[in-house]
């Protein structure tokens, strides 16, 4: 199991408390988006397709902290946009770490070394930089539509690790990826770059993304990951996923969507039903949970979800299934 022991114990205790209090809907991880602005225009992302006045906005520190406290999630993924463009992003992260939240700051890493002196980040077992790496040099630079991004991201990872920070990676895959190209980048991240953990995901079809031709369908996703995980590759990579979610990617099991498990909070409020879709916003987390018709979302229910196998909807389901089975819990604990 690649999740650090401290984090594993905290999450297990959190899930046990939810069960003890008979809560059937609760967050595992909060997707916090304190800004929409980004210094890249990636082909598969529609997040920067916001009005100019919204791209200039930055979430106040107090508002970000209040959202985390309100929902009570033990883990927070700070995304965007590019979080390092927020002038107080270090304060948001440090305040959450002080509250013993597990914080993952997602970044393309282009600004890390350039702007480092503007920030006050400190190594902590509760904090990690999550660097986006969508392939090796040519593939990654094509994905972000800018040359040199891969090389700078790799240098930033080395730079951070030399300073004692935990560094994880996040890789999104499209129809332009082959099983071998996925294997090559995961081998590189795991063995050469030696990131602490790796997260993988088939791309979700953002409606406003510039490239609408290369999003994976369900069958394509399953075929891709069956080949990627062949020959025992899953066991050697430090993947930050439950075994059941990896089974799900291969098509060995299927799950309903549990979008309430990874809610999204942005400058507009709590996004309904998840950060990948936009069916409006609520002012409070309680309103999000209680007024959203969760049963109408997921593959086979909403056409927009037809090809979705993203972690935000299906990883929580896999985690809950794991915790509800002694066999799967023991499986998840194996190295």
274-275-279 Cα angle (round to 5)? 60
**pLDDT-wise least confident of 45-59, 109-123, 170-184:** 45-59
> 296: which DSSP letter?
G
User: Strands 127-132 and 102-107: what pairing?
Assistant: parallel
> 2: which DSSP letter?
-
Residue 6 has pLDDT above 90, yes or no: no
Give the start-to-end residue ranges of the domains of the chain.
Answer: 5-333
% of the chain residues with pLDDT over 70: 93
> In the structure, what pLDDT confidence band is assigned to residue 233 with cuts at 50, 70 and 90?
confident
Residue 214 has pLDDT above 70, yes or no: no
Residue 74 has pLDDT above 90, yes or no: yes
Residue 1 has pLDDT above 60, yes or no: no
Q: How buried is residue 64: exposed, middle or buried, by Cβ count under 10 Å (0-12/13-18/19+)?
A: buried
Residue 46 has pLDDT above 70, yes or no: no
* Positive or negative: CA dihedral 280, 203, 144, 130: positive
* pTM for this prediction: 0.94
> In the structure, what pLDDT confidence band is assigned to residue 207 with cuts at 50, 70 and 90?
low
Residue 2 has pLDDT above 80, yes or no: no
Arithmetic mean of pLDDT over the chain: 91
Q: Looking at domain 5-333, does it have CATH number 3.40.50.1970?
A: no
> How far apart are the C-alpha atoms of 238 and 189, rounded to whole Å?
9
Q: Please name which of 68, 313, 66, 222 lies closest in space to residue 78, comparing C-alpha atoms.
A: 68
**pLDDT-wise least confident of 34-48, 100-114, 224-238:** 34-48
Residue 251 has pLDDT above 80, yes or no: yes
For position 139, what pLDDT does the model report?
93
> In the structure, what pLDDT confidence band is assigned to residue 36 with cuts at 50, 70 and 90?
very high
Q: Please name which of 246, 127, 129, 102 lies closest in space to residue 186, comparing C-alpha atoms.
A: 246
């Amino acid at each position: 199991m690649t999740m650090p022991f401290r984090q594993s114990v905290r999450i297990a205790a959190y899930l046990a408390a939810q069960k003890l209090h008979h809560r059937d809907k609760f967050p595992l991880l909060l997707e916090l988006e304190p800004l929409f602005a980004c210094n890249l225009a990636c082909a598969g992302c529609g997040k920067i397709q916001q009005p100019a006045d919204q791209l200039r906005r930055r979430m106040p520190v107090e508002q970000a902290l209040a959202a985390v406290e309100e929902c009570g999630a033990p883990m927070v993924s700070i995304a965007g946009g590019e979080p390092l463009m927020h002038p107080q992003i270090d304060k948001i992260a440090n305040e959450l770490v002080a509250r013993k939240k597990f914080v993952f700051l997602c970044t393309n890493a282009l600004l890390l070394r350039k702007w480092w002196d503007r920030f006050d980040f400190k190594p902590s077992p509760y904090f990690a930089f999550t660097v986006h790496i969508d392939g090796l040099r040519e593939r990654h630079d094509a994905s972000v539509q800018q040359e040199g991004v891969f090389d700078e991201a790799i240098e930033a990872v080395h730079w951070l690790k030399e300073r004692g920070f935990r560094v994880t990676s996040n890789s999104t895959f499209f129809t332009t990826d082959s099983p071998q190209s996925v294997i090559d980048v995961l081998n590189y991240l795991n063995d050469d770059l030696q990131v602490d953990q790796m997260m993988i995901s088939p791309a979700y079809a953002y409606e406003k993304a510039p490239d609408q031709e290369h999003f994976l369908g369900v069958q394509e996703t399953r075929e891709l990951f069956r080949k990627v995980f062949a020959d025992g590759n899953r066991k050697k990579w430090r993947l930050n996923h439950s075994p059941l979610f990896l089974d799900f990617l291969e098509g060995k099991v299927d799950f309903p969507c549990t979008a309430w498990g990874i809610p999204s909070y942005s400058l507009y409020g709590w996004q309904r039903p998840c950060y990948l879709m936009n069916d409006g916003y609520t002012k409070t987390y309680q309103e999000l949970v209680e007024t959203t018709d969760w049963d109408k979302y997921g593959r086979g229910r909403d056409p927009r979800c037809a090809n979705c196998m993203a972690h935000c909807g299906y990883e929580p389901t896999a985690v809950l299934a794991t915790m509800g089975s002694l066999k799967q819990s023991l499986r998840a604990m194996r190295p």
